[in-house]
Structure 1
Amino acid sequence: MTQTRTETIALTDGSDIRVTVAEPEDPPRGGLVLLHDSSGAGESLRKLVGVLATEGWLTVAPHLPLAAGGPPDIDEPDAEPAAAGTVPTTAADLLVDVDAVSVWLTDQGVQADQIGLLGFGFGGVAAFTVAATRSVGAVVTVSAGGIVEPAAPGLAPLADIASELSSPWLGIYGDQDAEISVEQVEKLRESAAGAQIAVDVVRFEDADHRFDNDQEAAAEAWQRTLNWFDAHLR
């Protein structure tokens, strides 16, 4: 049976970060770093980590700091809403968190080229930013904004760094997303075409930001995500 737990990983600056981990029953095929959206490290994150583990991936989800007033961590439900200044707002901040999780995965026996990143919303922005700076096995982002304007001060617009991608990247978007226009997605596609790596952008005509309104699109997007990792994490 898949085991899910929460533990703490040390960061290089002497601080630490909480992570949710799920291990597959059999030896893992590789490792996945799951980066959550602005809804935080809630029950849906724990469930998704477990689902990915059932697919054979050792999965770890860092509990990223949230914007001021954001929801508390699932493991600290009685905590106060996040204070101002807690969001990792530079590429360096994001790299510290993801690097620590990646080191943890390699310590568990996962090879560096068998580590993938999966990010939703702001987590997708984080995954994309890391993929333009670090070489990992594969990256999938879902509804990652910040394409033409920075998602947060200190981060570059994704279209500006897309040609620097050094990891196979799949971007998934819904045309009905009220936060991200089709024009922005197409600009990102055009910019990413300059990367010297496999890239793909998939749009779903009837899906919104969270794919809640189109279960068929959500199922296909999920299968494409799994297929991308199957193809590139070998």
Structure 2
Amino acid sequence: MTKSQWITLKAADGVEISAYEVWPDDPARGGLVVIQEIFGVNGHIRRVADSYAADGYHVIAPAIFDRAEPGFEVGYDDEGRTRGIALMQKVSGTDSMLDIAAAVELLKKEGKVGIIGYCLGGTYAWLAASQLPVDAAVVYYGGGIGRYSDRKPGVPVQGHFGLLDRHIPQSDLDKVRVYPNAELFTYQADHGFNCDERSSYEPASAAQARERALGFLRAQIG
């Protein structure tokens, strides 16, 4: 059994936030930062972290919305979505990068460190690939990837997107396919297809994407 706990991370600007940390049973293959959706480090994100720890990674999921509302965690209903969007507008991407960087720094003792993010976290995983000292990044339906397509990744990136996702046009994906170290996969699925708490959950696509993501992390991190 893996073991987990809530810890405090201190960013470079002195701000402290909470984070969910999970260790594998055996010595870690490397470090992995899991970046949340707009719904906080909720049950789904913690299960994602637990699953990658079971696969051998030392995982930290920073609660990047703590800067605006400590302990924020909601479900996938309309109220949760509304509250999440409001918080997203209060917490800048620059501040979130500082929080993610603090998680990366803590995991450096494990050797190589990867990033995996979902929705908002997917956008931040893309940005981290060009800004932070990580070794690889996995992007799940990051809606801002087109807006930040000029941020050339400095490390290998793997992306997973739904062809039925109206939030992310295929033209946005075409903008980042030009980078030789960016590998993108698409699925007959909608936004959020990986999350079993969403109505858009698509188990076959989720399983295939996770298999690909794990293989990528094995190759790039260990």
Gaps of 5+ in 1: 75-80, 149-156
Q: Which has the larger radius of gyration?
A: 1
**AA in 2 matched with 1:146:** G
1:67–1:84: 8 Å Cα contact kept in structure 2? no
Structure 1 residues 66 and 183 mapped into 2: Cα distance closer, same or farther (>3 Å)?
A: farther
1:97 aligned counterpart, secondary structure: helix
Q: Is the 8 A contact 2:22 2:49 kept in 1?
A: yes
Match of 2:101 among 99, 102, 109: 99
How far the C-alpha of 1:220 sits from its partner, in A, is 0.3
- How big is the shift at 1:86? 6.7
- For the 8 Å contact 1:40–1:72, the answer to whether it is kept is yes
| Cα distance in 1 between the residues matched to 2:169 and 2:66 | 24
Gaps of 5+ in 2: 75-82, 194-199
Q: How many residues matched?
A: 207
> What is the alpha-carbon distance in structure 1 between the residues aligned to residue 154 and residue 182 of structure 2?
10
Q: Retained in 1: the 8 A contact 2:115–2:137?
A: yes
Instruction: Find the counterpart in structure 2 of residue 159 from structure 1.
Output: 149
Query: Counterpart of 1:140 in 2: which secondary structure?
Result: strand
Contact 1:135 1:166 in 2 (8 A): no
Tell me how far 1:52 sits from its aligned partner.
0.8
Could you tell me which residue of structure 2 aligns to residue 25 of structure 1? Answer: 25
Aligned equivalent of 2:189, options 207, 217, 221: 207
**TM superposition score normalised by structure 2:** 0.84
Post-superposition shift, 1:120? 0.3
Q: Distance in 2 between matches of 1:84 and 1:4?
A: 26
- 1:1-234 equivalence runs, <5 A: 1-65=1-65, 72-73=72-73, 87-90=90-93, 92-106=94-108, 109-111=109-111, 114-148=112-146, 157-161=147-151, 164-190=152-178, 192-193=179-180, 198-204=181-187, 206-211=188-193, 212-234=200-222
- Matched residue of 2:154: which SS? coil
Tell me the alpha carbon deviations over residues 106-144 of structure 1, each in whole angstroms, 9 at most, x when there is no partner: 2xx312xx1000000010111111111234111000001
The whole-number CA distance in structure 2 between the counterparts of 1:145 and 1:67 is 22
Deviation at 1:85, TM superposition (A): 7.9
RMSD, matched Cα: 2.5
Deviation of 1:68 after TM superposition, in Å, equals 8.0
Q: TM-score, normalised by structure 1?
A: 0.80
